[in-house]
Amino acid sequence: MRIGLLTGGGDCPGLNGVIRAAVLEGVRVHGDEFIGYLDGWRGPLERASQPLSVGDVEDILPLGGTILGTSRTNAGRPERIEAIKANLAADRIDALIPIGGEDTLGAAARLAEAGVRCVGVPKTIDNDLSGTDVTFGFTTAVEIATEAVDRARTTSRSHHRGLVVEVMGRHAGWIALHTALAASAAAALIPEVPFSLPDVAAKVRALVAARRDAVVVVAEGAVPRADAIDPEAGRPVDEFGHVQVGGIAHHLAERIAALAGVETRAVVIGHVQRGGTPCAYDRVLTTRLGAAAVEALHRGQTGVMVALQGPDIKTIPLAQAVGTLKTVPPELLAAHAALL
Ligand code: F6P
């Protein structure tokens, strides 16, 4: 089989692990040939690609980012689906493995409907894709963010200050909640549950008075209840209509300082939590997912995504995975309220 691979959307630690495992499995077990399309859907749209051999991939498991590059090119438009189909035929591609999140896999679902054999691999540090217990990159991001909060906490204590640490999570607060729990932070503010600014400020004031530190973890997409913080105003929008988010920590720190009367600073971890080497858990998960995607293609499957379900890697329809986001149930945050 001649298989095309591509990585789309925001990058994520572990993308290279999927690429490596797919190529090793395909070449060694089935005698497949691999083409890597460059920069997400731009690759098959413009026929920008490179051959992928075992030698190209065998050492890339610990490498952050993606050796194929990525972009937020939207392939889902009908004319683009047709163009990609024609280009894949011209490149003699039998099947495609797109590795990406909701947007990349949404386009993969449309391509599969149009007759292209596709098996997707779910990716996002935000962990908000349905149908899989966890997405790779999430565990690494939480490790990085936890270390950042641990470090923020010692300086918060030295100076008797509040600190607001912003992590990624546009629609879902998985990173914020897990980081806050792992680092025993003062609060986790997540997009799913609008927060009360006066309550957060009161908590910071009380904690700084009682134990001299207070670190609040906020997801970039969190929104205050009945308040007018709008960090998205005037921001650029990508091809999928997503507004660039990020920066709420600065607004929040100013408001907390004013309301609590406690000096409060902001830290935005930003892309640091998406860069660098994947943790061991993500290396193993990506290795299993990459190999499973190739096996699914050889079983004749298409229009599906490989997914971690309990101890197993299963396949589920792409449409099911991209239909609804997996957000943090508000009860989960409430259940941990006493621990934050
Ligand atoms: O990949 C998802 C994500 O990490 C979101 O949490 C975040 O809003 C977005 O990517 C940032 O993307 P970019 O790298 O394009 O700024």
Taking CA atoms only, the protein residue closest to ligand 1 atom 13 is: 10
Does pLDDT of 318 surpass 90?
A: yes
Same domain, 262 and 284: no
Q: Which of 236, 251, 275 is the last residue of a domain?
A: 275
Question: Which phi and psi angles does 68 have, rounded to 5°?
Answer: -95, -10
Q: Which atom of ligand 1 is nearest to the CA of 242?
A: 8
Q: Does residue 234 register a pLDDT over 70?
A: no
Same domain membership, residue 127 and residue 56: yes
- Say yes or no to pLDDT of 231 above 80: no
Domain count, the chain: 2
The pair phi, psi for residue 158, each rounded to 5°, is -60, -40
Pocket probe for ligand 1: among 66, 74, 126, the residue whose CB has the most ligand atoms within 8 Å is 126
Tell me the CA distances in angstroms from 203 to 91, 160, 176, 217, 232, one per residue in order. Answer: 60, 14, 17, 13, 26
For the Cβ of 168 lying below 6 angstroms from any atom of ligand 1, the answer is: yes
Pairing of strands 162-167, 264-268: parallel
pLDDT for residue 18 is more than 70: yes
Q: How far is the CA of 245 from the centre of ligand 1 (A)?
A: 8
Sheet holding 162-167, edge to edge: 187-189, 214-219, 162-167, 264-268
Q: Which atom of ligand 1 is nearest to the CA of 274?
A: 4
For residue 122, what pLDDT band results from cuts at 50, 70 and 90? very high
Which residue's alpha carbon is at the smallest distance from atom 10 of ligand 1? 10
| Nearest CA, atom 11, ligand 1 | 10
**Residue 70 within any structural domain of the chain:** yes
Q: Would you state the pLDDT for residue 123? A: 96
User: Residues 138-172: pLDDT tens digits?
Assistant: 999 999 999 999 999 999 999 999 999 999 999 99
Pairing of strands 162-167, 95-100: unpaired
CB atoms near residue 208 (< 10 Å): 23
198 and 76 both lie in a single domain? no
Atom number in ligand 1 closest to CA 238: 15
CATH of residue 83: 3.40.50.450
Q: 239 falls in which pLDDT band (50, 70, 90)?
A: confident
Can you give the residue range of the structural domain that contains 227? 139-275
Asked if pLDDT for residue 205 goes beyond 70, the answer is yes
Q: How confident is the model at residue 337 (pLDDT cuts 50, 70, 90)?
A: confident
CA 127 to CA 172: how far, in whole Å? Answer: 8
Residues catalogued as catalytic? 126
Query: What is the residue with the minimal CA distance to atom 14 of ligand 1?
Result: 10
Contact indicator for 218, 249 with CB cutoff of 8 Å: yes
Please say if the pLDDT value at position 214 is more than 90: yes
pTM: 0.94
Pair 20, 147 in one domain = no
